[in-house]
Structures are given as C-alpha cells and as structure tokens.
C-alpha cells in the first residue's frame, strides 16, 4: 500500500466490498502490468529495425558487386585496371611466399571486386548503404530535413512562381520525376539516354507528359497483345477463368 494508486483502490474496496470482480481485475492488472518504460521499448525497437535495415542493405550491395564481377564487360575493365596498377602481379609471388592457386584466385577476385566498388556508382535499391539513411538517423534528423524542405519550397515559389525564372536541368528533371511518381533512387537508376529523351521531349510541361504517358500505355498494350504469355492468359480467362462453372467426374 505504499503506492498512492494502490491505496486508492484499497480504500475503494473497503467502501464497496460488493464489487468483487472489479477489485480482482485492478489487483492483477497492477501485478501483471509491465514495469518497463514505453520510451525504452520504442528506442530498442527502432534500434533493432535500424540494425536489420543497415545489414540488409549491405547484403544487397554485396550481391550487386558479386553479380557485376561476373559480367564480362565490367570484369574485363576491372582486370585491365588491376594489371595497369600492378595489383595482379603481387598475387603471384615466388619462393617462400608462394601460395596455392586457390589462394591466388581468391585474392585476385577480391582485387577485381574492390576495383568495381571504387569505379562503378551503383544507384537505386542496390546502392552502397549510408548510415544516415537508416530509420534511427532519419528520425533524429527529421527536424533538420523538415526545415530544409520548407526553405527549399520557399525558394522554389520565389524563383519560379513569383520571379518567373526558367527551369534549370535539375529542376526540369525534378518535375518530370514528380509526374512519373518515382522515388529519387528509382529515377537515378534510369539510363542517361532516357533522361535526355525526357528533356528533349520537354516532359516537364504537363501537356507533353500526358502525350508521352499515353504513348507509353499504347506501346505497353501492343507488347502485351503480342506476348505469348498474355495470349495464353486471355485464352484461359475466356475459357476456364472466373465465372465458368464446371463439373469434373472422378
């Protein structure tokens, strides 16, 4: 009875002894209630998610590097750079330092992967993870990002709506990306020639983008119409798809 809330429940029980089940509920709800601070639980959960997120991104990034190391185009270029820098010659030492062919092959593979990591800028979902992208830092830096976004919005309104300045290349690509409803990583993963096509067709203008969108939809319909898999699917939907009632005799 040292706790004030417990004493209140006890006094209420003395005044209302007939409410047995209510007293029973309050007693066990206090006995079995968790003693851990909710803030600590939230902090530990966010930290666990952040750690999982970071290592998951590292795994995806390493998978991308391992795949690029098997692509002849990138592997040949990386091998040529390694030879020019004399890195492959160091692996073939003689005398006491001589190693097995397997050890030499593994070291050469690591050298090629390191060169690919340094020379190729992987974008999109397989890009190199940054610690500031994980959930914990995103929450901590949210006030900064919010202020930055507000300042950028004010600058955009002042420059392009009030003063009527012309859009630069970055601003044009930003508007196109918004029309396409793509994230920054998705847009960055596009080829450079695709972005040049967007600029040539002036897709930052809403009317031009609507025309481009209709063209892409028509092209997709044509591809689907010519695709054998879609033909089989349409045949199945017509003959045996939903809405057809059949009886199968065993």
- 181 assigned to some structural domain: yes
pLDDT, averaged across the chain: 79
Residue 143 confidence (pLDDT): 93
User: Angle 116-117-123 (CA atoms, 0-180°, nearest 5)?
Assistant: 105
Q: Would residue 38 count as lying in a domain?
A: no
**pLDDT for residue 34 is more than 70:** no
pLDDT digits (tens, 9 = 90+) for 93-103: 555 556 677 77
Residues 82 and 122 in one domain: yes
CA 13/CA 30 separation, integer angstroms: 15
Residues 118 and 78 in one domain: yes
Q: Does 111 lie in the same domain as 81?
A: yes
* DSSP string of 33-58, one letter each residue: S--S-HHHHHHHHHHHHHHHHHHHHH
Residues 80 and 64 in one domain: yes
Mean pLDDT calculated for residue range 15-33: 66
Judge contact between 68 and 79, C-beta under 8 A: no
Q: Which of 31-35, 107-111, 148-152 has the lowest mean pLDDT?
A: 31-35
pLDDT at residue 171 greater than cutoff 60: yes
Same domain membership, residue 72 and residue 108: yes
Q: Is 181 exposed, middle or buried (0-12, 13-18, 19+ CB in 10 A)?
A: exposed
180 and 157 both lie in a single domain = no
148 and 178 together in one domain: no
Query: Which of 109, 143, 165 delimits the end of a domain?
Result: 165
Among 67, 102, 107, which residue's Cα sits nearest to residue 87? 107
Residue 127 near residue 185, CB atoms below 8 Å: yes
- Is 246 among the domain residues? no
- Last residue within a domain, chosen from 117, 149, 165: 165
Q: How much is the pLDDT for 244? A: 46
Residue 25 lies in a domain: yes
Range of the domain at 225: 166-240
Q: What is the pLDDT of residues 140-169, one digit of tens each?
A: 999 999 999 999 999 999 998 898 899 999
Whether residue 78 sits in one domain with residue 111: yes
Work out the burial of residue 249: count CB atoms within 10 Å of its CB; fewer than 13 is exposed, 13-18 middle, 19 or more buried.
Answer: exposed
pLDDT of 32 > 70? The answer is no
Same domain, 234 and 174: yes
Return d(Cα 73, Cα 58) in angstroms, integer: 24
Q: Is residue 59 part of a domain?
A: yes
pLDDT of residue 237: 57
| DSSP H helices in the chain | 4-15, 20-32, 38-68, 72-84, 87-91, 101-119, 135-140, 142-156, 169-180, 184-188, 192-200, 206-226, 228-239
135 and 183 both lie in a single domain: no
Give the rounded percent of residues in the chain with a pLDDT score beyond 70: 74
Same structural domain, 176 and 234 = yes
Q: What is the pLDDT of residue 6?
A: 72
DSSP assignment of 14-40 equals: HH-TT-HHHHHHHHHHHHHS--S-HHH
Q: Indicate if 142 and 184 belong to the same structural domain.
A: no
- For the chain, what is the domain count? 4
Per the CB < 8 A criterion, the answer to whether 212 and 203 are in contact is yes
């Amino acid at each position: 009875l040292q706790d004030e809330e417990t004493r209140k429940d006890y006094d209420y029980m003395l005044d209302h002894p007939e409410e047995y089940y209510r007293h029973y509920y309050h007693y066990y709800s206090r006995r079995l209630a968790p003693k851990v601070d909710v803030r600590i639980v939230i902090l530990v959960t966010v930290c666990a998610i952040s750690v999982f997120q970071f290592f998951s991104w590292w795994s995806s990034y390493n998978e991308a590097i391992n795949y690029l190391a098997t692509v002849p185009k990138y592997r040949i270029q990386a091998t040529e750079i390694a030879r020019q820098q004399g890195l492959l010659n160091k692996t073939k030492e003689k005398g006491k330092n001589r190693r097995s062919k397997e050890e030499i092959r593994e070291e050469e593979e690591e050298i090629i992967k390191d060169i690919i990591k340094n020379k190729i800028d992987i974008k999109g979902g397989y890009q190199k993870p940054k610690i500031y992208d994980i959930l914990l830092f995103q929450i901590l830096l949210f006030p900064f990002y919010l202020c930055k976004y507000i300042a950028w919005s004010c600058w955009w309104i002042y420059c392009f709506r009030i003063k009527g300045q012309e859009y630069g290349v970055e601003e044009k690509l930003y508007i196109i990306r918004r029309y396409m409803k793509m994230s920054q990583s998705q847009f960055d993963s596009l080829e450079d020639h695709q972005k040049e096509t967007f600029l040539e067709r002036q897709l930052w203008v809403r009317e031009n983008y609507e025309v481009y969108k209709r063209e892409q939809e028509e092209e997709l319909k044509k591809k689907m119409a010519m695709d054998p898999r879609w033909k089989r699917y349409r045949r199945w939907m017509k003959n045996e798809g939903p809405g057809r009632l059949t009886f199968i005799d065993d």
